[in-house]
Amino acid sequence: MNYRVDINEEYKKAKSTYLKYSLLFSLILTLVLGADVLLVILAKEDYTVNLIIAIIITILFGWFSIFFFTSIFGDINNRYRYFKGYEEGLKPVEEIEFLKKSDELCYINGLYVYPIYVRYFIGLSVQDKVIFTLKNDLEYEMGDKLTIKTYQRILIEAEKHS
């Protein structure tokens, strides 16, 4: 029973989402700037109404931008960069013993992941550690011996010893 994350597929999905949201933001930015320019051009001598409308639109857009870049796009960007850097990144292959998985969703390095508890055998010492999976779909049982490949502590591949 093997586990494998299709990195190419995930990268494509992340890139597509990244581009889609970038385009969406650029579109909204263009619309808001366009509206502001129109309001400036069309304003008459008493421009109070136009000024108030422009201020409201621009402030709402400013707040949306802050929210967008710190929350929504921040996550999308982190996910995209994670898969983009996969080829060059360190991907250690190690022998472990599977202990248990958890349903508790965590946020690590910009990614939403699920923790799994594993035991490493390093020389004569034994270390219990937590690594993560992108999806909570592992079907291993406690005590299963696995050869795993991780990237930034996230499980990419696992192969159960026969």
Partner 1 sequence: MNALRKRRILSVFKYTWPFYIISAVIIGILLNVLFGVTHRTPRYKTFNLFVSGEVFDHKKLKSDILETYKDKELKAFSCTSVKYGEATYDTKLSVAGYNTCDVLIIPVSKLEKVKVSAFGLALQDELITSYYQGYSFFSQEEVKYGIKINKEKVSEYMTLPSEDCYMILSGKSPNLGIYSKTPNEERNISLLVAKDWGM
Q: Kindly list the residues in this chain that would bind partner 1 in the complex (CB under 8 A).
A: 36, 40, 43, 45, 47, 50-51, 54-55, 58-59, 62-63, 66-67, 70-71, 74, 105-107, 112
CB of 131 to partner 1, least distance (A): 19
Question: Closer to partner 1 at the Cβ: 112 or 121?
Answer: 112
CB of 66 to partner 1, least distance (A): 5
What is the secondary structure of 62-123 as a DSSP string? HHHHHHIIIIIHHHHHHHHHHHHTTTTS---EEEEEEEEE----EEETTEEEEEEEEEEEET
CB of 93 to partner 1, least distance (A): 30
Question: Closer to partner 1 at the Cβ: 18 or 98?
Answer: 18
Question: Closer to partner 1 at the Cβ: 36 or 94?
Answer: 36
Query: How many other C-beta atoms are found inside a 10 Å radius of the C-beta of residue 55?
Result: 12
Burial letters 106-133, b for 16+ CB under 10 A, else e? eeeeebebbbbebbeeeeeeeeeeebbb
Question: Closer to partner 1 at the Cβ: 45 or 88?
Answer: 45
CB of 32 to partner 1, least distance (A): 11
